[in-house]
Amino acid sequence: MCACLRGFSGYCTSVSITLELDEQALRALPLGPGERERHMQIELACRYYAKGWLSMGQAAHMADLDPFAFAAELAERDIPRNFTVADALEDLADARRK
């Protein structure tokens, strides 16, 4: 399910990307054919977040995960959250409004 259908606002579009990868290298991965694509989707989102190319919300959306699940993926990869004091204050303000 697209992340925007789980409560994220905004126009939801998707883009399909075809990658040419070495078959022997793919067979060496400890992932089955159905798992490879999903793993690559999450891995790219994590890497782009780590580089600062995507925000937390953008990267979670790219990975098709909710923010909590995406944060768990970041932790699994030892990628620190870029969470500032301003972010914390904004989260607190959002929580008070709810």
pTM for this one? 0.70
Sequence-separated (6 or more) residues with CB below 8 Å from residue 65: 3, 42, 45, 73
**8 assigned to some structural domain:** no
Q: Could you report the per-residue pLDDT of 19-46, keeping only the tens digit for each?
A: 788 888 888 888 887 788 899 999 999 9
As for how many domains the chain has, the answer is 1
Query: What is the predicted pLDDT for the residue at 7?
Result: 47
Q: Could you report the per-residue pLDDT of 43-89, keeping only the tens digit for each?
A: 999 999 999 899 888 899 999 999 899 999 999 999 998 877 877 78
Structural domain boundaries enclosing 85: 31-98
**59 assigned to some structural domain:** yes
**9 assigned to some structural domain:** no
Spatial separation of the C-alpha atoms in residues 85 and 88, rounded to whole Å: 5
